[in-house]
Amino acid sequence: MPNNQPRPEYGEYATPEEQARAAGLEYVPPSQRPAPAPVVRADDVEDAAPRRSPVDRYITLLFLIFGAITLLESINGDLHFAGQLKDFATGLGVSSVAIPAGVQSAGYWLLAANVVLFSGTVALAMFALSRQKISFYIPIVGFFVYLIVYSIILNAAVPDLIRQVGNHVLQVSG
């Protein structure tokens, strides 16, 4: 009994050539197709990646320990900032120094900036270490950011003292 329906041009009864023609593509036999790219598991990529030198980890931790010691040593000076400035100026030979009464609040700001910047530096360094990324530069950058913040706060708190000490140093040096 003959089937009066037309032969489909696509679908399960169509040949691969007819399916490609119906899709508007050129049929390429399996023997001429390029080989598929090999599937790479995530475990293979991590194993193939070069390992970071353990020296970076030690240097980063050494810098962070140095930063923690510096933070701990600066607490007393920041809490007694007016006296510290007076001692600094006197030690340089500037005896006629006028320290404003409100300068102590700058010491509190310096301490807060030191704690915030050190905490951020530790967090970024630990994140980089956990990701096996190079991280020794993070504490260095944190230190330079702290120096900039320290200079800004100090200059805002006692610009006259900075000017007096600068003039004295210039006179002494020649």
pLDDT tens string 79-122: 998 888 888 878 877 777 777 878 889 999 999 999 999 999 99
Q: How many other CB atoms sit within 10 Å of the CB of residue 162?
A: 14
Residue 34 confidence (pLDDT)? 82
How many degrees, rounded to 5, is the angle at CA 16 between CA 13 and CA 19?
Answer: 75
Percent of the chain exceeding pLDDT 90 equals 41
Note the pLDDT tens digit of each residue in 151-164.
999 888 888 777 87
The rounded distance, in Å, linking the Cα atoms of 5 and 50 is 63
Contact 66, 122 (CB under 8 A): no
Opening angle at CA 27, ends 25 and 32, nearest 5? 130
pTM for the structure as a whole:
0.65
Which pLDDT band, with edges at 50, 70 and 90, does 51 fall under? Answer: low
pLDDT at residue 62 above 90?
A: yes
